[in-house]
């Protein structure tokens, strides 16, 4: 196990390096930050002075080498061009809100997906199964921004049950979490359903039923434990996807997280902040995948970490 974890950590570092390089060079291919940050009437001399002040007049490879050295040895992503503070400081201020939203979405997804998936498998081919399948397909087809707006109109404007913006209380978290989780919930539901259908046909399930065990015990102890493995292996990846996919949800609900920060930074050409956010998202995905692999091995001893 230890050797596997160490090997995966080296792989994770390599992946993060590749992602940091791609984000760095693609940003420079996109546009010139000096032209975005300075007013349109800026003179050529003003643009040159700004580039020299920000270190943008050097070759791109030299800039990346310095950027990588600062990040690896000092955890310094540079100073924001717009806010004039370290990019890490902005992320530390916004990351807890985005993480809280993503974790709430994960909880909502699995609280709904697991029982629905189990019921669909047990009632395979029934009216209930068809209804759940229909809503699963509809959930994957709905745009997040449209669903968020509909939830705001229904629960925030018409019924006035829940707040529609901000992050001051648990109530502010409900609508954004449902919106963010809605596009992954059908995937998890189908994973649980397919896993249960596969397990319910196994010999040990028939043996457990032949022994006279209660159905709830057969499903909960024998079937569900093995059927849940595919779900466990994707949760880590989904956490990273939710962190990255929070941009639209945070915009709709005015949620003060990293999604809104990176969107504003892209529009304003604030490259240090964009690079820092991309690297943080990459680290979250890699760490999530590693944790999911380890949990899968702990749940199912038949898995060999090689």
CA dist., res. 148 & res. 51, Å (int): 41
Tell me the C-alpha distance between 265 and 279, whole Å: 15
Domain of 242, CATH number, reads: 1.10.3720.10
Specify the pLDDT at position 35.
Answer: 67
pLDDT at 154: 93
Residue at 78 is within a domain? no
Q: What is the pTM of this model?
A: 0.78
* Containing structural domain, residue 114: 88-299
| Residue 111 lies inside a defined structural domain of this protein | yes
In a domain, 147, yes or no: yes
Q: What is the pLDDT of residue 222?
A: 67
87-122 vs 258-268: helix crossing angle, rounded to 10: 130
18/199 Cα distance (integer angstroms): 39
Whether 22 maps to a domain, the answer reads no
Q: How many domains does the chain contain in total?
A: 1
Query: What span, in angstroms and rounded, lies between the C-alpha atoms of 237 and 292?
Result: 8
Pull the structure tokens for residue 2. Answer: 């230890």
Look at residue 15 and tell me if it is in a domain. Answer: no
Identify whether 155 is part of a domain.
yes
Q: How far is CA 77 from CA 60, 74, 93, 225, in A?
A: 16, 9, 15, 43
Per-position pLDDT tens, the chain of length 306: 667 677 777 887 888 888 888 877 776 666 666 666 677 777 778 777 877 776 777 777 888 888 888 888 878 888 887 888 888 888 888 888 888 998 899 999 889 988 888 888 888 878 888 888 888 778 777 888 888 899 999 998 898 889 888 777 888 999 999 998 888 888 888 888 888 888 877 777 777 777 777 777 777 666 777 777 777 777 767 877 787 777 888 888 888 888 878 888 887 778 788 888 888 888 887 877 777 777 766 666 555 555
**pLDDT value, residue 256:** 86
Q: What is the pLDDT of residue 183?
A: 81
Cβ neighbour number for residue 118 with a 10 Å cutoff: 21
Q: Is 99 domain-assigned?
A: yes
pLDDT at 46: 74
* Tokens found for residue 297: 């091995």
Q: How far is CA 3 from CA 173, 293, 305, in A?
A: 40, 14, 9
Note whether residue 143 is domain-resident: yes
**pLDDT given at position 2:** 67
pLDDT at 121: 84
């Amino acid at each position: 196990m230890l050797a596997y974890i160490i090997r995966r950590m080296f792989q994770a570092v390599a992946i993060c390096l590749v992602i940091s390089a791609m984000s760095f060079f693609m940003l420079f291919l996109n546009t010139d930050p000096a032209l975005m940050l300075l007013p349109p009437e800026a003179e050529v001399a003003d643009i040159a002075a700004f580039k020299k002040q920000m270190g943008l007049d050097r070759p791109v490879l030299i800039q990346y080498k310095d950027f990588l050295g600062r990040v690896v040895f000092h955890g310094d992503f540079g100073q924001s061009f717009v806010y004039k503070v370290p990019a890490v400081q902005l992320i530390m201020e916004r990351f807890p809100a985005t993480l809280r939203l993503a974790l709430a979405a994960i909880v909502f997804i699995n609280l709904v997906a697991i029982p629905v998936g189990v019921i669909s498998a047990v009632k395979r081919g029934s009216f209930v199964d068809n209804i759940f399948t229909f809503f699963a397909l509809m959930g994957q087809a709905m745009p997040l921004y449209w669903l968020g707006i509909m939830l705001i109109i229904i629960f925030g404007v018409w019924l006035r049950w829940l707040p529609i913006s901000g992050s001051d209380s648990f109530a502010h978290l409900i609508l954004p979490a449902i919106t963010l989780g809605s596009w992954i919930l059908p995937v998890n539901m189908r994973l649980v359903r397919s896993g249960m259908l596969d397990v319910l046909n196994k010999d040990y399930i028939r043996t457990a039923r032949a022994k006279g065990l209660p159905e709830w015990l057969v499903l909960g102890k024998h079937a569900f434990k093995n059927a849940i493995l595919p779900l466990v292996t994707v949760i880590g990846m989904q956490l990273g996807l939710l962190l990255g996919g929070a941009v639209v949800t945070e915009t709709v609900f005015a949620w003060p997280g990293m999604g809104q920060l990176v969107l504003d930074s892209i529009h304003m050409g604030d490259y240090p902040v964009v690079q820092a956010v991309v690297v943080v998202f990459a680290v979250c995905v890699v760490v999530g995948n590693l944790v999911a692999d380890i949990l899968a091995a702990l749940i199912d001893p038949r898995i060999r970490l090689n």
